[in-house]
Structure 1
């Protein structure tokens, strides 16, 4: 098909140019999608604050149980009331000393 190195080189350069144009178009599509996703995220209301939360420490082990409105809520995941009671009573997870979820849940020792 291509008899000389010059013809092969010319074909390869042509192929590269085509691929660069396709890559540029793909990059524009990605940027457009990212802009649309960011716009949708701005319009979406923030997630509701959970009533109860579990703070995780090193190695993702449960560290403290919190109320959802605790000011000391850094690495926390929302949990249900039942999960909070379970963690405090059977799980051996201590209650946050600032927000005192054990008092609100009625599980004081």
Structure 2
């Protein structure tokens, strides 16, 4: 099928797909910015409960469990 399309038509198809992907990316960024703007940080007690009772695994890079004294 692509042999029947001109180079210009193929480029238009690629451009349309990229515009679609850019729109999806823009919507995702907007959603995350909105969520981040309304998010509140955890209290120390909430973080300790999450790591000890709720079974949430601490981030292996920033290691909040070490900072909170949970090892």
Q: TM-score, normalised by structure 2?
A: 0.51
RMSD: 3.8
Greater CA radius of gyration, 1 or 2? Answer: 1
**How many residue pairs end up in the alignment?**
56
In structure 2, list runs of 5 or more residues that go unmatched: 53-66
Quote the Cα distance in structure 2 between the aligned partners of 1:47 and 1:26.
Answer: 33
Question: Residue 49 of structure 1 corresponds to which residue in structure 2?
Answer: 45
Return the structure number with greater strand share: 1
TM-fit CA distance, 1:6: 7.8
Question: Residue 68 of structure 2 corresponds to which residue in structure 1?
Answer: 73
Matches within 5 A, 1:1-109: 7-41=5-39, 44=40, 46-47=42-43, 49=45, 73-74=68-69, 76=70
Return the structure number with greater helix share: 2
